[in-house]
Amino acid sequence: MAEVTGESKYMDLLNEYPLLKTDLVRKNPKFEFLVTQMGKISLWEANLAEVSERAEMTVDETVSLFKELIDSY
C-alpha cells in the first residue's frame, strides 16, 4: 500500500488504485472535476495538497479520505 501524505501525487494514486476515481466522487461530489479530461490534464502533476484546494477541503481531510478509501480495497 502506498503511503498517503499531502505530498503524494494524485495521478500516482489513481494509477495504483483506479477505483478512487468513482469512489471519491461518491464520498464528495466536489471531486467530480478530478475525473474530467480537463481535471486530469490540469492535475497531472498535482499532489494531494493541491487537490484539496480544488475540492475545498483541508489537506488533512483529503489525506484521510484517500487513506480511508485505499484501506478499503
Q: Which pLDDT score is estimated for 38?
A: 83
Q: Are 48 and 5 in contact (CB under 8 A)?
A: yes
For the chain, the C-alpha Rg in angstroms (whole number) is 11
Give per-residue pLDDT as tens, 13-52: 999 999 998 999 999 998 888 778 887 788 889 999 999 9
Mark out the alpha helices in 1-73 (DSSP H runs): 10-16, 20-27, 37-42, 48-54, 59-71
Secondary structure letter of residue 9 according to DSSP: B
C-alpha cell at 5: 501524505
User: How many residues are recorded in the chain?
Assistant: 73
